[in-house]
A and B are shown apart, each in its own frame.
Chain A
């Protein structure tokens, strides 16, 4: 059963690098539309698949970079040439650092 994100979401428009380890296309990019402690919603022109593992990298500010956060695609829709997908973070993601990033984005 797919679970929706249960933590509050922060709307944003951050550029994001997407890496697809199990795909013919190794990387792509897009934008994070919203972010929470449990996952992100992204838009991208690169194909998404349900259950796909994606490593995401984004830079909320110049001294703050989150590299290769492991996530999994849990849903997506296709909107006029873009895939808008929901990705849920893996347990390996550093929750403390993620919280710090969210705090920073909220305060901006």
Chain B
């Protein structure tokens, strides 16, 4: 059923407008004369009339009169042969809702038609949607551009947050000596205060969960196993603690070297390192030494297993990591792997180290910071 009646005596104009109407997804009928058009709209009123600009004003008057009588809710639009503001003003004053001038796009036709019929509470049925004639002028574009910019900034920030090489957390401890990760917590010991603090990592800060104080030794290394916690102390002992509220000591042995500096649990066995002997020790169930290996670090201060590789933190002149890979008869080592944070913290001296959730965690001998660092990629 046709919605639009196009009254255009000029055949080319009529065909043109019918074609444009079809492009706009609107069914239109072309009529070649004003009297025939008026007769048609009286018989079967359309939703909209598009009129080629009449040469005589009386044609407009007859049309408007006919519309008033037979189709009072049918608006009309005039097609002008060229842009003429005064003529458009006159036609609109005579009743036309709007005037179209060539070239008429399907969008122009659809916009004018929809606007005109909506003013009388009707609508043109079409499956076409309107695009702005000058898209860059849409005010909402600037809103979208702003939101896109904010999204890019947020995305960049999040990307940097998640992929940054290191992140620094503030610690109240002035003499941190060891760090280990236990499930969702990170534990830090302070040899001077003789305490072990348990933290949860919450975004950019550490939330203290609990604290254990020992009065009779100064912890310098810590490792956690399923039922026990192990500590090494400045007086040259390795202790086994039951994982109860206050971590009571259940066993204590002399450490293999005089300066134990690191402990780690590989799932079955306890390992330790000594900064005096510069060795790595594999312990048995009685905390005795099962095996010992030479360590490449100048001053080993911590060790941790990660994907079948033993990493050693070096607290010597340069804060670096070393890698030791077990190969049947013994370990082969490679490194050093420098830490990018050392560029910023020139006086960084590692005092404790662990690997937790795929990242290296370090404490600084000069205190007050816990560093989360991206693991270096090992050479094969």
A interface with B by C-beta (< 8 Å): 13, 15-19, 27-31, 43, 45, 47-49, 57-59, 76-78, 80-82
Across the interface, do B111 and A45 meet the contact criterion of CB distance under 8 Å?
yes
- Of A29, A59, A80, which is within 8 A of B115 by CB? A80
Say yes or no for B125: interface residue by CB 8 A criterion. no
Contact (Cβ within 8 A) A47 B89? no
Q: B residues within 8 A CB of A13?
A: 119
Most A-side CB within 10 Å, residue of B92, B99, B110, B111: B92
Residues of B within 8 A of A76 (CB): 139
Q: Annotate B104-121 by CB proximity to A: 1 below 8 A, 0 otherwise.
A: 000110111011000100
Q: Given A15-B93, A78-B137, A81-B133, do A29 and B114 touch, yes or no (CB 8 Å)?
A: no
Task: Report the nearest A residue to B111, measured CB to CB.
Answer: A81
Q: Assuming A45-B133, A80-B130, is B85 touching A19 (CB within 8 A)?
A: yes
In the complex formed, the residue of B with least CB distance to A28 is B85
Per-residue contact bits, chain B 80-97, to A (CB 8 Å; 1 contact, 0 not): 000101101100110000
Residue of B98, B108, B119, B134 most packed against chain A (CB within 10 A): B98
Find A81's partner among B86, B99, B107 (CB 8 Å cutoff). Answer: B107
A39 to chain B: closest CB distance in Å? 18
Question: Which residues B101-157 have CB closer than 8 A to chain A?
Answer: 107-108, 110-112, 114-115, 119, 130, 132-134, 137-140
Which residues of chain B are near A31, meaning CB under 8 Å? Answer: 92, 98
Choose among A13, A17, A58 the residue with the greatest number of B CB atoms under 10 Å from its CB: A17
The chain A residue with its CB closest to the CB of B99 is A29
Query: Contact: B89 with A17, CB < 8 Å?
Result: yes
Given A29-B99, A47-B137: A82 and B115 interface contact (C-beta under 8 Å): yes
Most chain A beta-carbon neighbours within 10 Å: one of B83, B89, B108, B133:
B89
Min C-beta distance of B26 to chain A, whole Å = 14
Question: Are A45 and B86 in contact (CB-based, < 8 A)?
Answer: no
Q: Mark B147-190, 1 if CB is under 8 A from A, else 0.
A: 00000000000000000000000000000000000000000000
Give the docked Cα–Cα distance between A78 and B133 (Å): 10
Cα distance A16–B89 in the bound complex, in angstroms: 6
Decide: A49 and B112 in contact? CB cutoff 8 A: no
Quick check: A81 and B92 within 8 Å, CB to CB?
no
A-B pairs with beta carbons under 8 Å apart, 16 shown: A15-B88, A15-B93, A19-B85, A29-B98, A45-B111, A49-B137, A58-B89, A78-B137, A78-B138, A80-B114, A80-B130, A81-B111, A81-B112, A81-B115, A81-B132, A82-B111
Known: A43-B115, A45-B108, A81-B132. 9 other contacts (CB 8 A): A18-B85, A19-B85, A29-B88, A31-B98, A45-B98, A80-B130, A81-B107, A81-B110, A81-B111
Give every chain A residue within 8 A of B98 (Cβ-Cβ).
29-31, 45
Residues of A within 8 A of B133 (CB): 45, 47, 81
With both beta carbons as reference points, the residue of chain A lying nearest to B108 in the complex is identified as A45
Residue in A31, A76, A81 with the greatest tally of chain B CB atoms within 10 Å: A81
User: Which residues of chain A are near B134, meaning CB under 8 Å?
Assistant: 47
Residues of B within 8 A of A59 (CB): 89, 93
Q: Are the CB atoms of B130 and A81 closer together than 8 Å?
A: yes
Q: Which of chain B's residues has its CB closest to A61's CB?
A: B93
Cα distance A27–B137 in the bound complex, in angstroms: 18
Considering only CB atoms, which chain A residue lies closest to B119 in the complex? A13
Q: Do B111 and A29 touch (CB < 8 A)?
A: no
Instruction: Kindly list chain A residues whose C-beta atoms are within 8 Å of the C-beta of B110.
Output: 81
- In the complex, chain A residues whose CB is within 8 Å of the CB of B119: 13
Q: Which residues of the other chain, A, contact B108 by a CB distance below 8 angstroms?
A: 45, 81
List the 9 shortest-distance A-B pairs measured between CB atoms, nearest first: A81-B111, A15-B92, A27-B85, A29-B88, A17-B85, A17-B89, A81-B130, A78-B138, A47-B134
Contact flag A27-B139 (CB < 8 Å), given A15-B89, A59-B93, A81-B110 = no
Docked CA distance A33–B146 (Å):
31
Could you tell me the distance between the alpha carbons of A55 and B263 in the complex, rounded to whole angstroms? 84
**CA gap between A49 and B138 in the complex, in Å:** 10
List the A residue with the shortest CB-CB distance to B134. Answer: A47
Q: Give Cα distance in the complex from A82 to B112, angstroms.
A: 8
Of chain A, the residue at the smallest CB distance from B112 is A45
- Which chain B residues lie closer than 8 Å to A47 at the CB level? 133-134, 137
Chain B residues, CB < 8 A from A57: 89
Contact B139 A78 (CB under 8 A): yes
